[in-house]
Chains A and B, each alone.
Chain A
Amino acid sequence: MKLKFTFWKLVFLALMAAGFYATVVRFTQGLGRSTNLSDQFPWGIWIGFDVLCGVMLAAGGFTLTAAVHIFNIKRLRPIVRPTILTAFLGYVLVCVALMYDLGRPYRIWHPLIMRNPHSVMFEVAYCVMLYTAVLSLEFSPIVLEHFNLQKPLKIIRGVLVPLVIGGVILSTLHQSSLGTLYLIMPEKLHPFWYSPLLPVFFFISAIAVGLAMTIFESSMSSRHFGQQLELPILQELGRVLVVVLSVYGILRFEDLLHRGVLKLMFQPGYEMYLFWLEISLSLILPLLLLAQRKVRMSAGGLYLAAVLVVLGFITNRLNVSITGLESAAGLHYIPKWTEVAVTGAIIAAGFALFGLAVKYLPIFPAEKQPAVVEVEAGAATPVLSHAGD
């Protein structure tokens, strides 16, 4: 155990050191020296992975808060806090990544006062900003509880429901809008990925990834922080995940059919291979796995399916933002080491902050017995350990 801890600490330090050096290169030498971006290919992994995937991976926040606070599914309550923590860290890190990608990061506030309501980017900027604020408020009870500050805690609890509703609306808007960003380039984006339904696809897949990430995190947390694995909850999430993936799959293939793209699916080529990689990871394999009751009911099976879904939709976002634009640009984009180092450091920071928060803040239920029992005992009994979520 101790050896493992030291190993991960070393990995973390190595990633942070590389990230620090890359940061120095980025801000002293400019984007040209620190990236493989060009006039032909102006957006790379800092947008494709750090922003698009970062926002997508944080979707558990709005999915779970909606399920628990709006749809009143109390069984899911014990995992609300870890997902809010992930979402909050996710959005903060997305903002950090944007500071690297923007040519003039010190002007990141410009959309606040220089408005262009016709711009999808403007809308995304506003939603991400407001939602980060909502997430910090949703996260605040955890910190306030830790320091036993009752007065502000009471205020937050009072406005929690409108706050959650606002958060869900903001998330719906910008999760889908990240897809809308690409609607402006019908001539550039490969037909596998250019679709008028892009906003719908981005939104539905964000829900799927939100659920998958919640399963993934719960499993990881149970392994590394010794937290109780809430198997019945994960099974429930797994069932919902099957439904969401099926809806997404049907829409995705109907869209390909209507746009006459199905024939391209069997013409070997760069785009075809990455399309099938995406579809296999995001749809075929997880649905095959989850269709079997034995897998759906086991912690290991759910974990595997969740990991596949997450990897599959990461592939999807990278396909939309990178693969699908390469042939129009007439080049293959491969990120420079500095780009990879910054992304690696951001991911490492995310894991480290998550670990620290779990260690020092009441993220997971303090009681040894699972909260599920408590809920089953009586619906009207408030779940004390989580009254402030």
Chain B
Amino acid sequence: MSKALLYDSTMCIGCKQCEQACAGQNKLRYDEAVAAEQQQSEHKYTVVLTKGDRFMRRLCMNCEDPACASVCPVGALRKTAAGPVTYDADRCMGCRYCMVACPFGVPKYEWSKILPKVQKCTMCPDRVATGQPTACAEICPTGATKFGDRDALILEAQQRIRDNPGQYVNHIYGLTEVGGTSVLLLSGVAFEEFGYRTDISKDPLPVLTYRVLSRIPDFVPLGGMLLGGVWWITHRREEVAAAEGHGSAHGTPDQKERKP
């Protein structure tokens, strides 16, 4: 059963303990300067955006069918059955196609390093594998970030909206976006206010490229046959022309008549 995170922004108090726990889990520097940063970066995988008394987390959505994993030529990024989208730095050659392809702009790069890596939230795969919640969900004092089975969390999110229709935007972000994500969001204000695009595709993005790629195994033998055929026809035509030219010069009229 696939795991997921449900973040309910109406329950969030903006304490940023999730940021700190995330940094601790991933061995990233965390101090007041980092805490004040309002964007995800190669040294800050998750951020609690603050607008007045409203909050919204940003982190890797860990898509069900992630564009980043589909485009990675070396399979450094992978979707695990448990939910997390993991990154194997030893495979990565730094083409940055994942960054270009991600619909949420999540993967970040260590631009200042000589041997850079991609950096992003990977949904604590080691913890999730042993049945523990992610670091951010475990530390959350209000339950705004909740870890659990994706199906159960969807039911719970729907229930919360039903119980308090006035409190929520009637939309579970991540339920259907790009085919569904392992991070689900509830909000009291329009998602766009915190930079979440609601106009994005409901279908998984990898389909768009795989539709084309999957034709290659058919194309190669067909193209080879076709080109080989053209070559055969054009050169055969030339042979015939040469033979006929030869025949008319030296052959008898009798031989010529026999040709169709």
| A residues neighboring B (CB under 8 Å) | 27-33, 37-40, 42-43, 66, 69-72, 101-105, 107-108, 110-111, 114-123, 125, 161, 165-166, 168-169, 172-173, 176-177, 180-181, 183-188, 196, 199, 325, 379-380
With A30-B114, A110-B93, A173-B219 already in contact, the answer to whether A184 and B70 are too (CB < 8 A) is yes
Listed from nearest, the 10 A-B pairs whose CB atoms lie closest are: A103-B94, A32-B111, A72-B234, A107-B93, A122-B73, A121-B73, A114-B74, A380-B242, A42-B99, A42-B96
Chain B 92-126 against A: per-residue CB contact (8 Å), 1 yes, 0 no?
11111101110101001101111111000000000
Question: What is the chain A residue whose CB lies nearest that of B237?
Answer: A72
Instruction: Tell yes or no: B224 within 8 A of A by CB.
Output: yes
Residues of B within 8 A of A42 (CB): 96, 99-100, 109
Instruction: Tell yes or no: B231 within 8 A of A by CB.
Output: yes
Starting from the known contacts A110-B74, A185-B103, 17 additional A-B residue pairs (CB-CB under 8 Å) come to: A31-B116, A69-B231, A70-B231, A72-B235, A114-B73, A118-B213, A120-B71, A120-B212, A121-B73, A165-B231, A169-B227, A177-B212, A183-B209, A184-B209, A185-B101, A188-B103, A196-B208
Q: Are A30 and B116 in contact, with the CB atoms below 8 A?
A: yes
Interface size on B, residues (CB 8 A): 58
Instruction: Tell yes or no: B199 within 8 A of A by CB.
Output: yes
Instruction: Give how many A-B residue pairs fall within 8 Å (CB-CB).
Output: 175
Q: Are A119 and B73 in contact, with the CB atoms below 8 A?
A: yes
Residues of B within 8 A of A186 (CB): 201, 205, 208
What CA separation (Å) do A55 and B171 show in the bound complex?
45
**Closest Cβ of chain B: how far from A159's Cβ, in Å?**
13
24 interchain pairs, CB-CB under 8 A: A32-B112, A39-B41, A39-B105, A103-B94, A103-B96, A107-B74, A107-B94, A111-B74, A114-B74, A114-B75, A116-B72, A118-B70, A118-B209, A165-B227, A166-B224, A183-B212, A184-B67, A184-B71, A184-B208, A185-B100, A187-B103, A187-B199, A199-B212, A380-B238
Q: Are B75 and A115 in contact, with the CB atoms below 8 A?
A: yes
Interface residues of B in 27-75 (CB under 8 A from A): 41-42, 67, 70-75
For A116, give its contact among B73, B92, B94 (CB under 8 Å).
B73
Residues of B within 8 A of A66 (CB): 227
Q: Are A180 and B71 in contact, with the CB atoms below 8 A?
A: no
With A103-B109, A114-B91 already in contact, the answer to whether A379 and B228 are too (CB < 8 A) is no
Q: Are A104 and B115 in contact, with the CB atoms below 8 A?
A: yes
Residues of A within 8 A of B41 (CB): 39
With A70-B231, A118-B210, A123-B213 already in contact, the answer to whether A102 and B94 are too (CB < 8 A) is yes
Residues of B within 8 A of A120 (CB): 71, 209, 212-213
Residues of B within 8 A of A32 (CB): 111-113
Question: What is the chain A residue whose CB lies nearest that of B117?
Answer: A103
Instruction: Tell yes or no: B129 within 8 A of A by CB.
Output: no
Residues of A within 8 A of B70 (CB): 116, 118-119, 184
What CA separation (Å) do A40 and B40 show in the bound complex?
11
Instruction: Tell yes or no: B155 within 8 A of A by CB.
Output: no
What CA separation (Å) do A177 and B71 show in the bound complex?
12
Instruction: Tell yes or no: B15 within 8 A of A by CB.
Output: no
Interface residues of B in 190-232 (CB under 8 A from A): 197, 199-201, 205-206, 208-210, 212-213, 216, 219-220, 223-224, 227-228, 230-231
What CA separation (Å) do A104 and B118 show in the bound complex?
11
Question: What is the chain A residue whose CB lies nearest that of B106?
Answer: A39
Q: Are A173 and B216 in contact, with the CB atoms below 8 A?
A: yes
Residues of A within 8 A of B100 (CB): 42-43, 185, 188, 325
Residues of B within 8 A of A29 (CB): 114
